[in-house]
Amino acid sequence: MKNQILYTALVTPFDESVVNVDYQSLEKLIRYQENAKNGILLLGSTGESLSLSFKEKQEIINFVCNLKLNTEIVVGVPSCNIDSALELIDFCNQMPISGYLMTTPIYTKPGEIGQTKWFEKLLDKSKYPSILYNIPSRSGIKLNPQSVKNLSQHDKFFAIKDSGGSIENMYEYKVTAPNILIYCGDDYMTNSMISEGAIGLISVASNALPKGMRKYLENALLNKGNDESNQDFHQIFKALFKASNPIPIKALLNKIGLILYKTTRLPLSADDFNNLNELLSFYKKISVLEDESNKYQNINSKKIK
């Protein structure tokens, strides 16, 4: 896992009824990520993991692993019930994946000791390296720096995905656990976090721009992240969060022909997003700059005109 700089937090496409996973669209998305040499994160918040049953999660993981991809697969671990989390890890330990993303427990807002014991149980069960996830906007509480320090010598804990929205969080983790690597968890923070020592990015935008985001990240890693195209990227980053993630990215993926339907499971609703034309205009500008549009023209050219 330590050699991968970009993971795509993959959406989970559904059929029109939202009852079934659309595996045709899922494979199409995955093949584009593989072609771009991006790692794949399954069952994260972008993948609507909380709306999936345990059986559906197993089926998705089985399906993706059976594709025998030439890229890394990381699986998101449930974030509110310890037995469910351990059960999924136990299942995935038998699969050819690369690691786990373990989220700060949601809703309950545990303190230092609770977080330490939660992650310790998950890490002890894990056969693979794990990334701990700081996402206070969804979990209700940040990943406690002291918990990070308490866990920093665990042999299965190798990185943090930081979506805390500020460099200060990253500084705290680097000071308390200098041996633990940091991934930027917010597309719009990429340049600032890379400049302060983050080793890579776990991205939402790369669902639609797998090669474009990889080029953007590589420029940041080479300290070339200040060219004029940055403003175009920042516009699309903002547009992708004008409704709850993954509603906007699914709307874009549907419009450009990468998924058949933009459907999301309740309580999310595709009808909560009405800025598609704005988002599409930013996408088209970036896709031309990054030579992304060519590969979509044979998929559904009418949709991106």
Residue whose tokens read 């993959």: 10
Rg of the chain taking only CA atoms, in angstroms: 18
Q: What is the pLDDT along the chain (305 residues), one digit of tens a residue?
A: 667 999 999 999 999 999 999 999 999 999 999 999 999 999 999 999 999 999 999 999 999 999 999 999 999 998 789 999 999 999 999 999 999 999 998 889 999 999 999 999 999 999 999 999 999 988 889 999 999 999 999 999 999 999 998 899 899 999 999 999 999 999 999 999 999 999 999 999 999 999 999 999 999 999 865 655 678 899 999 999 999 999 999 999 999 999 999 999 999 999 999 989 999 999 998 887 555 544 443 444 334 33
| Rounded Cα gap, residues 160 and 13, in angstroms | 27
CA neighbor of 103 nearest in space, from 57, 188, 164: 164
- Number of other residues whose CB lies within 10 A of the CB of residue 101: 26
**Of the listed 125, 142, 156, 161, which one is catalytic?**
161
172 exposure class (CB count in 10 Å sphere: 0-12, 13-18, 19+): buried
Is there a contact between 48 and 265 (Cβ–Cβ < 8 Å)? yes
Which candidate, 119, 194, 186, places its Cα nearest to that of 157? 119
For residues 248 and 240, is the Cβ–Cβ distance under 8 A?
yes
- Is position 161 annotated as part of the catalytic site? yes
pTM score over 0.95: no
Could you tell me which CATH number the domain at 6-222 has? 3.20.20.70
C-alpha separations of 302 from 58, 144, 218, 227, 261 in Å: 35, 48, 31, 31, 16
Decide if 302 is catalytic: no
- Catalytic: which of 100, 128, 133, 173? 133
- Give the separation between CA 156 and CA 125, rounded to whole angstroms: 10
Which residues, at least 6 apart from 226, have a Cβ–Cβ distance to it below 8 Å? Answer: 191
